[in-house]
Amino acid sequence: MEASHRAPSCDDQARRRCFYALPMRPPSVDAIARQLADTGLPHPLLVEAARAAVAGGDPDTARERARAEAEAMSLALLRPVINATGVLLHTNLGRAPIAASLEARPSNLELDLATGRRGSRQRSVAGLLAKAASAETALVVNNGAAAVLLVLAALARGRAVVVSRGELVEIGGGFRIPEVLEQSGAHLVEVGTTNRTRLADYARAVSAHDPALLLKVHQSNYRITGFTESVGAAELSRLGVPVVADLGSGLLDAATPWLAGGPPPWLATEPAARQTLATGAALVTFSGDKLLGGPQAGVIAGSREMVERCARHPMARALRPGGLVLACLQDTALAYLRRDGDAIAFWRMAGVPAATLRTRAAALGCGAVVDCESVPGAGSAPGVGIPSAGVALEGDHTAALRAADPPVIARVVDGRTVADLRTVEPADDPLLAKALTAAAGGC
């Protein structure tokens, strides 16, 4: 009988080598996506993560890579965080913390309820802010840079605008005053020097160029100290040319009547809208999400005639804010008019005594209680600090804290991770304690 087994031929061996040399079949994209359902991401995003992982190479690690892709997508989404940096207006964390809760129903955004006719989205909110700043009227746009751009485009296009060289600043995001002037169609006239500008410098520019505006610019985080000189709005207003003061930070009133204890020391040199207008400025512009403590917005306040010219400019429609922003800003303005600083999260946090923060820090039960210094942030009141307290862990634990739920954002000082409690809501203390304990491996 013929043998049942035979030695493989050369052809058999070649076929087997070819078989094993073939690449493994890639795993199913849909199967991997279904396994990622626990991440909570919508299925189309999970499919995208799975496809990217499968295309990346080794089939054996595709599932792990897909989960990493999905986690990266999740981390990129907007979510609440605990700000333990001590920077009250942290630009990377959305600046002023605000609460927004609106019913899913229409509002009278552009309807006059008294007449039943079409109304203005600016009327109520801008009117409240004008009252709070003691201005004739006001206009709200989508951010502080937009406010400056609209003023220049509406009031100075094709004409000269005089600015001190010491105020030709650049702030975050590459916002440069000379470039904004150029985009608005106005012509920049520089006066004075970087450190010293006198009234006579402005007067000569007025004589030589017949400018549309004299522009004063908040220097944000930039400061010159020592041998310096500058000219205020009161002096400039005597030259007969409208003065526009870009205050940037949005302090409404230097007297802070919404604070029971009056103005805090760290506000001593910060310009305010009410006082700047009272001393002769025709207009002020400022942000809504800095010292105002509201949502991202820009405000133009002052002369009725000039504000109305801004409102009629075609650019005003492109720069207008939406109903959600206006609703939040309305709540903020009403709190000011009620003189209720505690209703505005920024002022509530800024006013907590350091002793109270120390007590909270000790109650966390993790880390050493330390004194620290908070700052207003976002270019407001630069160079000044607010006494504060928090806790410190030895070493850099910031990555572990960012991975907590919710993420905790802290800072490293002298080799220690510091969580400043001034910028943490008391209700979040248990969450912060849990994150610190996990980051430190137990306390």
Task: Locate 133 and state its tokens.
Answer: 């700043």
| Fold agreement between 82-96+348-440 and 123-340 | no
Over residues 61-83, the mean pLDDT reads: 93
Supply the pLDDT for residue 226: 84
- Mean pLDDT is lowest, of 52-61, 225-234, 347-356, 393-402, for 52-61
Cα separation, 246 vs 194, in Å, equals 18
The pLDDT value given to residue 218: 87
The whole-number average pLDDT for the span 164-191 is 89
Tell me the pLDDT band of 25, cut-offs 50, 70 and 90: low
Confidence tier at 38 by pLDDT (50, 70, 90)? very high
Taken in order 196, 169, 297, 211, the sign of the CA dihedral is positive
Q: Is pLDDT at 2 greater than 80 in this prediction?
A: no
Q: Indicate yes or no: pTM above 0.85.
A: yes
Query: Is 179's pLDDT higher than 70?
Result: yes
Mean pLDDT of the chain: 91
Helix (H) or strand (E) holding 393: strand 386-394
Give the integer Cα–Cα distance in Å for 385 and 417.
19
Q: What's the alpha-carbon Rg for the chain, to the nearest Å?
A: 29
pLDDT digits (tens, 9 = 90+) for 271-283: 999 999 999 999 9
Confidence bin at 15 (pLDDT 50/70/90): low
Report the percent of the chain where pLDDT is more than 90: 81
Q: What pLDDT, on the 0 to 100 scale, is given for residue 102?
A: 81
Q: How many Cβ atoms are within 10 Å of 241's Cβ, its own excluded?
A: 22
pLDDT at 295: 96
pLDDT of residue 1: 42
pLDDT tens figures, 84-138: 999 999 999 999 999 877 888 999 999 999 999 999 999 899 999 999 999 999 9
- Cβ(220)–Cβ(248) below 8 Å: yes
Q: What is the mean pLDDT of residues 149-154?
A: 97
Q: What is the mean pLDDT of residues 67-81?
A: 94
Give the confidence band of 13 by pLDDT, cuts at 50, 70, 90. Answer: low
Pick the CATH number of 123-340 from 1.10.1740.10, 3.60.21.10, 3.40.50.1240, 3.40.640.10: 3.40.640.10
pLDDT given for residue 225 in this prediction: 79
The sheet carrying 213-217 orders its strands as 137-141, 298-302, 283-287, 243-248, 213-217, 160-164, 187-191
For tokens 């955004």, name the residue: 109
CB 370 within 8 A of CB 418: yes
Is the pLDDT confidence value at 391 over 90? Answer: yes
Model pLDDT, residue 442: 85
Say which amino acid occupies 254: A
Query: What single string gives the DSSP state of each residue in 22-72?
Result: SPPPPPPHHHHHHHTGGG---HHHHHHHHHHHHHTS-GGGHHHHHHHHHHH
Whether residue 140 has pLDDT greater than 80: yes
Best CA proximity match to 348, nearest among 429, 434, 264: 264
> Does 3.40.30.10 match the CATH number of domain 82-96+348-440?
no
pLDDT digits 0-9 by tens, 359-373:
999 999 999 999 999
Find the mean pLDDT for residues 20-40. 80
Instruction: Flag whether pLDDT at 9 surpasses 60.
Output: no
Q: How many helices (H) and strands (E) does the chain have?
A: 17, 15
Is the pLDDT confidence value at 268 over 80? yes
Residue extents of the structural domains in the chain: 82-96+348-440, 123-340
Q: Which residues contact 395 (CB under 8 A, 6 or more apart)?
A: 415, 416, 417
pLDDT at 7: 54
pLDDT at 384: 87
Residue 435 has pLDDT above 90, yes or no: yes
Residue 430: its H or E element: helix 429-440
pLDDT given at position 382: 79
Give the Cα-Cα-Cα angle 224, 230, 234 (nearest 5 degrees). Answer: 140
As a whole number, mean pLDDT of residues 301-316 equals 97
Compute the average pLDDT of residues 404-418. Answer: 97
